[in-house]
Chains A and B, each alone.
Chain A
């Protein structure tokens, strides 16, 4: 049944697919994960601070981000970020940041909302008494969080954080709406150019599957390795 198909097109386009496409996808995934976890943790701390001026904006932000489709956010930021840049720097014209910067900002801000919910659960999973013990030793709020609470929260939540990262990895393919050459974008371009839609999309699906599945296996193995001995 595959007699009409030309799978050589995959071999021929491998350098383009991986060197251009996958590099972009992985870079975006890695940077947005790091940025998202940092900003998300900050949001979680704000929400749990018990201070209304901090917790209300954070809660509003998280709820807003989680109620808007990601594609919409990607579009929105693509058109908005240049104006925000203009507003911040006071430049006379919108600052063009490029599709990569724009999508990185979008994914970081969007994923932060999800990471913040994960980290909030993680922080709450650390026993109350741990905070008391740290404070009793003279630690400040920042020290208590950085040495005692957050390390335990990260460990408790590591499997969920990594699972969210795998979802993020798949979601990065949505940047195709900005005509960016991520892995799927690259596959798509070759597919259109050579008229090999089935082959390329099939191959792209297999690659996404292999990477995501391997990563989730890794998560499972890691889980037992990093668990806190109780």
Chain B
């Protein structure tokens, strides 16, 4: 479904991504982790072309992301993305957030879009908040709306860029629950996160990054039980301590 091969990216002279290759099959859940500044957010943003890259290729459902001839908006409409800071549109109601792209990008009718929006709000447990504005919701609620907004486009895969990092601790679980349910439904997911509990529970594979390089790419159980690299061992021992 998603293939990255030998992807490198530079900010001027600073190389943020170094020869990154990995693959995500349909229905697979891959967690990308690593210390901050390791390039994991940059990598996931390359997948839907929000960040350009200079070397290598990324293909999503047979479409090359880096190709100049690729209609990026069209490709992005099929890949859902959830951001660290939610990025709901603050000037629009929750329902308008959910229907805007359905109407303008997919050309769906108002009615159909609202029905789908309502169904998804129901799914993330926020049915009664449809007419509120994002600023009136808690962080956890906003992130659930953001997930619903991405799902409303019927994506073939979902990208999560540190979806719980900006949340208060007591709100993390409500968001993770939605993501776990999504994974159980068979959604193809690439998730940048520090939530190792989530990784253990639903990820098929874990990709570990450091200094722009993919250091480990292993099945979840292997990664947690016997990480091969010293770097991953130290990382795990630090974040699993508590």
Interface residues of A (CB under 8 A from B): 127, 129-130, 132-140, 143, 147-148, 151-152, 155, 228-230
Contacts and interface: CB of A to CB of B under 8 A. Distances in A.
B135 A230 contact: yes
Given A136-B150, A138-B76, A229-B135, 16 more contacts: A129-B87, A132-B45, A133-B87, A133-B88, A134-B89, A135-B50, A137-B76, A137-B153, A138-B74, A138-B106, A139-B101, A139-B104, A139-B105, A152-B91, A228-B135, A230-B90
11 contacts: A130-B89, A136-B79, A136-B81, A137-B100, A137-B153, A138-B76, A138-B77, A138-B78, A155-B91, A228-B90, A230-B135
Given A132-B50, A155-B91, A229-B90, A138 B135 contact: no
Given A147-B100, A147-B104, A229-B136, A136 B89 contact: no
B48 interface: yes
Q: Which one of B72, B91, B133, B150 has the greatest number of beta carbons of chain A within 10 Å? A: B91
B83 interface: yes
Nearest to B82: A136
Nearest to A140: B73
Given A138-B77, A139-B73, A229 B50 contact: no
Contact of A135 (B76, B78, B80, B100): B76
* Most chain A beta-carbon contacts within 10 A, residue among B72, B73, B76, B106: B73
Contact of B91 (A132, A136, A138, A228): A228
Given A136-B76, A229-B135, A230-B135, A129 B85 contact: yes
A138 B105 contact: yes
B100 to A, nearest CB: 6
Contacts of B83: 129, 132-133, 136
Contacts of A139: 73, 101, 104-105
B40 interface: no
